[in-house]
Amino acid sequence: MNKGQKFSVWFFLGALVATWLFSEYIYKPYAERQGEVSYSEFLEDLDKNIIENVDISETRITYALKEGAASPDKRPIIGGVIFSNKKTKPQGNIKSVVRLDDPDLIMKLSNSDIKFGGIAQRDTILDLLMGILLPLLPLLILWYFMFRNISGAGGGGGIGGIFSFGRSRAKELQGELTGVHFSDIGGAGEAEVELREIIDFLKDPKRFDKFGAKLPRGVLLVGPPGTGKTLLAKATAGEAGVPFFFITGSSFVEMFVGVGAARVRDLFDQAKKKAPCIIFMDEIDAIGQSRMNVYNGNSEQENTLNQLLAEMDGFEENDGIVIMGATNRPEILDQALMRPGRFDRQIQVVLPTEEGREEILKIHTKKVPLAQEVNLREIAKVTPGFSGADLANIANEAALLAARRKADSVSTNDFDLAIERVVAGLQRKTPLTPEIRKKVAYHETGHALVACYLPGSDPVHKVSIIPTTKGALGYTMQMPTEDQYLVTENELKTRMAVMLGGRAAELLVFDEPTTGASNDLERATETARRMVIEFGMSKKLGPVRYAAPTMMYLGGAVQIREDAGEATAEKIDAEIKRLVTEAQEQASNILKEHEKVLHEVAETLQKKEVINSDEIQAIVNKEKRSEE
Ligand code: ATP
């Protein structure tokens, strides 16, 4: 039995004894006093022959009046059970009197038709159970469900849930059973090389001992969501053939003080018994958040973190335990967690390159029958910025589409639709009214044409005016041609002009803006804001960073640093406005220049609902030829 368990059992037993003492010595005497009468009244009732039965104990006499002879029962009731002897009638008026030394009483009772008997203070175990446990039953049931909820589904669904309070919820899997190997992971070249060293160590820790070499105790995997961090940790355990303990940071965080720390202790106790092994903590930022960042000092989180730090220091270097952590937010982690001897090695798990994406697609289509014409490299080409999880999702969606078509194999078109689904959401069936369709068609054509005419923008892949489940009334899909590691100022301006192409078209054709551009405006403003405060791309403000620290991998709006003055904030706003306005003017000029193409593409779009890049290009080329 571990510490956590002992704590819970004692807590449970203590509560039970306290409740029993309370009921026996405080509540019961109180309840009995409620119906108490004087001995003379008892004798009077006896003479009037209105008593139905009498129970005599060593100190008290309890009696019940015949029906109709009594006022309503005033005794309190707890948990549905009246606090009196089981032999008395559960209803009617019960009275109680202190027993006096009255030798004639038994004679009197014998001569009447009253049923009477004696009761021992506690005669049977059943009495004890009925008297104590039964009133407590509703309370116990409530308690059980409360505990089960708190310890969560992972805490064990049965009665064990009550006792597993302080136990860690690390699911222990044998390394071999993770069944994951590096061959199941695509595009993880660099991370794999670094992890190989850990695997060698886990396979034969003594070899490292001989050289006095100390291996990193903790390895932190950092990178955007869905890039395969969990998968890499599992593969490390799988390759080394050691047990793998998996736990998420958030499951340490409980509402009860001390539980998180107890769980950390328990996790390490378990792991020490199974060494060599890997402990993997996903979302480690949930407990490893910098103590400086925690508003008002969340002492529970701090206790848990302190316990983790202590445990990481507590085992010997070559004990054979490797702790792996994963996070999308390395910037908020406590520095103490990163110092040598703890998570001293960081491995960046980045978004896959084109080659990596092809490998990932190959892995996820291993069991999928692909049509001859499917070229995974081509799919990898049009999916820059997609994570491993996105690609796995695309492979699955494509297979689902093929299955729904009742086809024998998955075609290129299934993959195209799957990509669209992931990017834009499912198509919605509700048709738009002709006026709205027209507005949406011009709006989307606006985006597409600005992208076509502005050099350096990502090529347009498809334009659609079928509403999607993600809330868009239409969408223009652009596909970058290569992975972008660096973006220039001009490219950012081009992107903004494309974003504002929709609004520019609305103004040009209908002379009136619509709400359809709200998301475009949001994205354009955010781009401009980042140019000014994060990338130092405004001459007026200079090469100064005014942005507050951002989340490296999770995106989100960039905020201005709190210590920036009011005058600076005003300048920033003016610069953002200038950049966005210039981008809209640029878009507007392009559309004015090619207004004929705008009308023709928008009309085609209204007829066909979806047009691809070739169809747009054909109309653009036609205009070019007529001008020549
Ligand atoms: P998060 O940060 O959101 O926890 P993660 O980086 O831990 O994400 P995983 O949970 O490892 O990501 O990946 C989710 C799924 O995506 C995996 O189960 C796998 O199917 C797929 N996947 C991600 N990356 C790869 C990869 N490099 N190769 C093959 N499959 C991958």
Q: Whose CA is nearest to atom 9 of ligand 1?
A: 228
Q: Whose CA is nearest to atom 10 of ligand 1?
A: 230
**Predicted pLDDT of residue 85:** 42
What separation in Å is there between the alpha carbon of 154 and the centre of ligand 1? 22
Token digits for 31?
Answer: 């309840």
| Ligand 1 atom at minimal distance to the Cα of residue 389 | 16
Q: Which of 227, 234, 250 to mutate to test the pocket of ligand 1 (most atoms within 8 A of CB)?
A: 227
Helices (H) and strands (E) in the chain, counts: 25, 15
| Ligand 1 atom at minimal distance to the Cα of residue 186 | 28
CA 361/CA 545 separation, integer angstroms: 39
What separation in Å is there between the alpha carbon of 297 and the centre of ligand 1? 33
CA 415/CA 461 separation, integer angstroms: 14
What separation in Å is there between the alpha carbon of 25 and the centre of ligand 1? 61
| Ligand 1 atom at minimal distance to the Cα of residue 328 | 2
What separation in Å is there between the alpha carbon of 155 and the centre of ligand 1? 25
**Predicted pLDDT of residue 584:** 95
**Predicted pLDDT of residue 161:** 42
**Predicted pLDDT of residue 8:** 60
Q: Which of 184, 230, 329, 351 to mutate to test the pocket of ligand 1 (most atoms within 8 A of CB)?
A: 230
Residues in the chain: 628
**Predicted pLDDT of residue 551:** 66
Any catalytic annotation for residue 444?
Answer: yes
Q: Whose CA is nearest to atom 15 of ligand 1?
A: 389
Beta bridge partner(s), residue 82: 77
CA 620/CA 600 separation, integer angstroms: 10
What are the φ and ψ backbone dihedral angles of 611, each rounded to 5 degrees?
-130, 150
Residue 407 half-sphere exposure, CB side, CA atoms within 13 Å?
A: 17
**Predicted pLDDT of residue 599:** 94
CA 535/CA 552 separation, integer angstroms: 14
What separation in Å is there between the alpha carbon of 318 and the centre of ligand 1? 30
Q: Which of 254, 311, 444, 506 is catalytic?
A: 444
Q: Which of 222, 231, 355, 368 to mutate to test the pocket of ligand 1 (most atoms within 8 A of CB)?
A: 231
Beta bridge partner(s), residue 171: 246
**Predicted pLDDT of residue 346:** 86
**Predicted pLDDT of residue 1:** 42
Domains and CATH numbers, the chain: 35-121 (3.30.720.210), 171-348 (3.40.50.300), 356-423 (1.10.8.60), 434-627 (1.20.58.760)
Residues having CB within 6 Å of any atom of ligand 1? 185-188, 225-231, 282, 326, 328, 360, 363, 388-389, 392
What separation in Å is there between the alpha carbon of 232 and the centre of ligand 1? 8
DSSP state letter for 383: -
**Predicted pLDDT of residue 345:** 84
What separation in Å is there between the alpha carbon of 227 and the centre of ligand 1? 5
Q: Whose CA is nearest to atom 29 of ligand 1?
A: 185
Is the pTM value of this prediction over 0.85? no
Q: Over the chain (628 residues), what is each successive 10-residue block's mean pLDDT?
A: 51 79 74 76 84 83 78 43 41 75 81 78 60 74 69 41 48 57 84 84 77 78 89 88 83 65 80 83 80 58 80 70 87 80 83 89 90 88 86 92 89 88 72 85 94 88 81 79 80 94 94 88 92 89 82 70 82 94 95 93 90 88 77
**Predicted pLDDT of residue 591:** 94
> For the purposes of burial, counting CB atoms within 10 Å of the CB of 124, is it exposed (0-12), middle (13-18) or buried (19 or more)?
exposed
- Dmax (CA) for the chain in angstroms is 133
**Predicted pLDDT of residue 120:** 64
CA-wise closest residue to 412 among 388, 378, 364, 451: 378
CA 481/CA 463 separation, integer angstroms: 17
